[in-house]
Structure 1
Amino acid sequence: MHTMFSGATFPLGPFVPYEGNPILRPRGGSWESANLYNPAALVDGDEVILLYRAHADDIVSHVGLARSRDGLHFEREEEPILSPSEDYELFGVEDPRIALIDGTYYLTYTGWDRRSAQLCLATSTDLRTWTKHGPLFEDFDTFATVDPRGFNWSKAGVIVPVRMHGKWWMYFGEGAIYWATSDDLVHWTPGTPDTEPMYSPTPGSFDEDLVEIGTSPVLTDNGLLLMLTNGATRTVNPDGTVDVDYRCGQVVIDPDDPTTVLARMQVPWLAPQTFEDLNGLVSNVTFVEGLVKFKGTWFAYYGQSDTTLAVAVHDPAQPWGASLRD
């Protein structure tokens, strides 16, 4: 049985932030000396692997790798596994998400050139030697219906690791959420123009300003679950600065009609609450990108204010309403 078939249900949770957070911090005078956050996650045998974003004071992001045997305590490698090398990513390879399909790792990430953020793809069979396939979408702005950029802008792609209706599917987007399909997992075609998202912010709610894809999908007993990284509230101050509040939501998609969102959580399942969540390079941010089920427990890995890395844990033996069952 494929790992995405979990026996879970929507909504997934509740998740409790680990009391030992943050589990990874910046260190030393190295490439990861200033900020470390926003990890992809996957299970490899008896270990959890994190592919995390980090940078020094230059704010040029690289992707590093860390391993854990309990999902909580990680040992990281000294050098990054992915670094900027092309013009479209010269100032950062950012915010990875990962899928393992037939022995190949498919890593989506944001390439940043200090003007345009573009969703990019790299592939590997060993997590160390990567083939970069470049930006995935041309003339596409995932903010087109929210706050138009007017040029290429796309982030946050998660690949469904099994075919649906004869094709490979990806859900992507920052601002609003879209879908794309592929025959070979490398070349992707959006299903609609950028003016027709499949899911948009909800007025008057915690995600009224923007929504963004978070973690890899989970096929639950009642739909294809996607965690959202935020549902952000943006406040523009009189001096022009912007305050943000990034919280985490969930939506569930109909696998029989993969372009249809069936339901959304009405409240966030994770919100800024600790010192690290509330203070950092970009304050008031809980930004989830990694989700695994490991040894019977769910681990959701998230960035705290673009500065440190944390985990929230869900024990299936403690479902919603557990206090009523005592």
Structure 2
Amino acid sequence: MKDIAVRFKENPLLSPSDLTPSREGLEITCLLNPGVFQFQNKIWLLVRVAERPKQMENSISFPILTNKGTIEIIEIKKDDPELIATDARVINYKGADYLTTLSHLRLLCSEDGRTFYEPKNSPSLVGEGILETFGIEDCRVVLIDEVYYLTFTSVSKNGVGVGLRTTVDWQKFEKHGMILPPHNKDCAIFEEKINGLFYALHRPSSVDIGGNYIWIASSLDGIHWGNHHCIIKTRKEHWDSKRVGAGAAPIKTAKGWLEIYHGANENHQYCLGAFLMDLEVPTKVLARTEDPIMFPKTNYELSGFFGNVVFTNGHILDLDGETLTIYYGASDEFVCGAKFSITEILSLLTNI
């Protein structure tokens, strides 16, 4: 395998200690998987900020949102026989699943794409209502007809689905609720309409028949979705054998819509690959990379809150249409950057 990513020498760009917790009594455990966009001549990241109380030696504690928007702290003794805590991200207690952190989305900007800061009076996006009590995560951002569409993962005891908010000025946001019900995530809307329709990639999951596959859907208004097709499946004995999911919005090239996606294997190693869809009929996949184009190999990618992970859901394409800058989460703890050549990615695709 050949990793073709050119990582920023400044990596990690952001670490948990770089930001201030949202409220007293919590600490920032992870910075993850930013949505990326350009606005007012700056590059912006919509970073997932995961928080929890400071952990004590003999117990696990984590926050959840109440329906009224306040935070409740749940504390469980580690020796409780009804606690299953084998995953740093999720625990099971008395038959119910909980996240070990509570995530919200925070805006940071940069003039050079390397040094990011949090502007004064910039709003944070937090979970609201019964479908977001475990937080909101991993936002994708796309600009269509002067409106920014924000698709993100909404988490609660009811399940994991896709939420949508829109904005034109990044100060006021219109909430559209859950647009794809559980279990679904990794929703990336295409950057332009195709034959008058919105298109989006998404990832429904099945614990029985089926699997963690990438699907595509279309919409007249960007809110109500239908005409679903399964287009990318996991591959046995490959780097993407356990699950696959979309990254950011597909990139329009002369050869087709190019999507950078993540895949994971049975050892929970997350890598990046690519596939190509037809320009006019995006339900048709033309080609796919056999090997990953990026895999965890640096210390900050191999070791962290949940190590051996590179995961992207945001990028910027240079005006030349050739240089792709991705911003990605490393080991579920740090935010990093890397560059790719579009030509090189296309050269690694194998026709299907």
- Per the normalisation by structure 1, the TM-score is 0.81
Amino acid at match of 2:170: L
State the number of aligned residues.
Answer: 283
Partner of 1:241: none
Greater shift after overlay, 201-210 or 78-87? 78-87
Matched, 1:233 2:268: no
TM-aligned CA deviation for residue 15 of structure 1: 2.4
SS at match of 1:156: strand
Pairing 1:85-164 to 2, within 5 Å after superposition: 85-114=128-157, 116-138=159-181, 152-164=182-194
Conservation of the 8 A alpha-carbon contact between 1:159 and 1:216: yes
Structure index of larger Rg: 2
SS at match of 1:201: coil
Amino acid at match of 2:243: L
Matched, 1:173 2:197: no
TM-aligned CA deviation for residue 29 of structure 1: 4.9
SS at match of 2:154: strand
Bigger RCO (CA 8 Å, 6+ sep): 1
CA distance in 1, matches of 2:165, 2:242: 30
**Aligned partner of 2:45 among 45, 50, 65:** 50
SS at match of 2:153: strand
Pairing 1:256-267 to 2, within 5 Å after superposition: 256-267=280-291
Conservation of the 8 A alpha-carbon contact between 1:231 and 1:246: yes
CA distance in 1, matches of 2:104, 2:156: 13
CA distance in 1, matches of 2:342, 2:257: 18
CA distance in 2, matches of 1:125, 1:320: 33
Partner of 1:268: 292
**Aligned partner of 1:40 among 24, 35, 50:** 35
Matched, 1:21 2:11: yes
1:108-132, CA deviations, whole angstroms, 9 ceiling, x for partnerless residues? 0000114511011111111232222
Amino acid at match of 2:265: T
Conservation of the 8 A alpha-carbon contact between 1:178 and 1:190: no
- The answer to which structure has the higher strand fraction is 2
Partner of 1:145: none
Conservation of the 8 A alpha-carbon contact between 1:71 and 1:299: no
**Aligned partner of 2:231 among 198, 209, 221:** 198
Matched, 1:309 2:335: yes
SS at match of 1:206: coil
Pairing 1:214-225 to 2, within 5 Å after superposition: 214-225=247-258
SS at match of 1:126: coil
Matched, 1:252 2:276: yes
TM-aligned CA deviation for residue 280 of structure 1: 1.8
Amino acid at match of 2:109: R
Cα pair distance change 1:207/1:46, threshold 3 Å: same
Partner of 2:126: 83
Conservation of the 8 A alpha-carbon contact between 1:81 and 1:127: no
TM-aligned CA deviation for residue 221 of structure 1: 1.6
CA distance in 2, matches of 1:181, 1:246: 28
Structure 1 unmatched ranges of 5 or more:
1-12, 139-151, 236-243, 322-326
Cα pair distance change 1:295/1:73, threshold 3 Å: farther
Structure 2 unmatched ranges of 5 or more:
53-62, 64-100, 205-211, 348-352
CA distance in 2, matches of 1:320, 1:163: 23
